[in-house]
Amino acid sequence: MQGRTGWAMTYLTKGGLIVKVAKGQYRITEQGRDFLQRFPSVISTRDLKTIPGWEQAWGTNKDAVAEQGDDEVLDATASPIELIESGNALLRNELAADLLKNILAQSPTFFEHLVLDVLLAMGYGGSRESAAAHLGRAGDEGIDGRVNQDALGLDQVMVQAKRYAPDRPIDRQTVQAFIGSLAGQGVTKGILITTSYFNDNALEFVRRGSNTKVVLVDGRHLVDLMLRYHIGVRVTRTVDILELDQNYFEDE
């Protein structure tokens, strides 16, 4: 399903008002029947936002949802460019949630390779094969891969990937153990990437600093990087936005 119909079904599914039972087939839920009694004529985005868990279902917080604004107000006051940007933000939100869901459905090994693909796309040196050659090696102390900070491999960065449920935080002990693993490998730089998040103790431990430089990447940041560098996603449509070329009409 495309266009407005597809988005309507997505919104209703996110709100728990319908469930998908087969390709192109949906069934109304008990919550949906109750909601329909409350709003028998028209259901707006503002109405859907009253559903408990709406922000969590979209993988956003209340501030992010508020920034998107209400569709009814936006349609009346926004410029065409603002409407395009708002629609694109909604698409990215939906895609980000789908990305995280699909990552969690894969194996830990898949996630480790995904992390390496993201880092290599960001410009770290080496290849996926050479970076992944470190996986599973005896004595690796939990290191899941290595990438080169420079093209010649003069400075290496160790990588650890933690495919955790979104509500399972990474604590200080896990970060501290990773730093210990870096020391055991004789490396001073590392990247710890997770699908969940880092608790305050873990963040504070890294902020205090040490001789080892560690970068923490949580699930939200990881998904942002995947979208930016087109890992696990593809472009399905591009739009050219044209404006008047005033110089063409000026007198010579």
Give residue 91's pLDDT band: very low, low, confident or very high (50, 70, 90). confident
Domain count, the chain: 2
Over residues 125-148, mean pLDDT: 67
CATH code of the domain covering residue 114: 3.40.1350.10
Residue 99: inside a domain: no
Whether 114 and 50 share a structural domain: no
Whether 127 and 216 share a structural domain: yes
Whether 223 and 138 share a structural domain: yes
Residue 239: inside a domain: no
Please check the confidence at residue 113 and state whether its pLDDT lies above 60: yes
* pLDDT above 70 coverage of the chain, percent: 79
Over residues 121-141, mean pLDDT: 65
Over residues 163-186, mean pLDDT: 92
Whether 53 and 122 share a structural domain: no
Please check the confidence at residue 66 and state whether its pLDDT lies above 50: no
| Per-residue tokens: 251 | 């007198």
* Prediction pTM value: 0.68
Last residue within a domain, chosen from 22, 37, 57:
57
Whether 137 and 26 share a structural domain: no
Whether 112 and 218 share a structural domain: yes
Whether 175 and 116 share a structural domain: yes
Whether 128 and 216 share a structural domain: yes
Whether 36 and 141 share a structural domain: no
Give residue 73's pLDDT band: very low, low, confident or very high (50, 70, 90). very low
pLDDT tens-digit series, residues 226-247: 999 999 999 998 888 888 888 8
> What's the confidence (pLDDT) of residue 177?
93
**Residue range(s) defining the domain that contains residue 41:** 3-57
